[in-house]
Amino acid sequence: MLSFATSLLSTLQGAFSADTVTSDVDDRLEAIRQAMLDSLAGTGMPSAQVTRRILFACDAESLWYLRPELLREIAVLHGETSARRCIDHVSAMFAGLLPRAMQAGRPALAG
């Protein structure tokens, strides 16, 4: 009986700690999403397509891969230097959410 109770307690603790981790990741993703949207807010009339893609990105990788589009949108009105500062800030927010290899480079300003 003690073994069953210990097992049950362990399972419940695992479930609650997994929910806490998931909640923390969700909170971080929402903070990243908001930072990306805030960056676009200063561009005057942001692209509806980029805004929509940021809003509906389902995970950290999806948001990560939207950085070049965000960079391009900001650079059009504020210049590449300002856009890169913004992207560097957003990129730093991904620490611990992605494999290290994904975070190695900076996004290119594609034309």
In order, the DSSP letters of 50-99 are HHHHHHH--SHHHHHTTHHHHHHHHHHHH-HHHHHHHHHHHHHTTTTTS-
Instruction: Identify which of 59, 58, 93, 90 has the alpha carbon closest to the alpha carbon of residue 74.
Output: 90
Distance (Å, whole) CA 65 – CA 25: 17
Give the predicted TM-score (pTM) of the model: 0.73
Per-residue pLDDT reduced to its tens digit, 40-98: 886 667 788 999 999 999 999 999 999 999 999 999 888 999 999 999 999 999 999 99
Domain ranges of the chain: 29-103
Is 83 within 8 Å of 54 (Cβ atoms)? no
The answer to whether the beta carbons of residues 42 and 85 sit under 8 Å apart is no
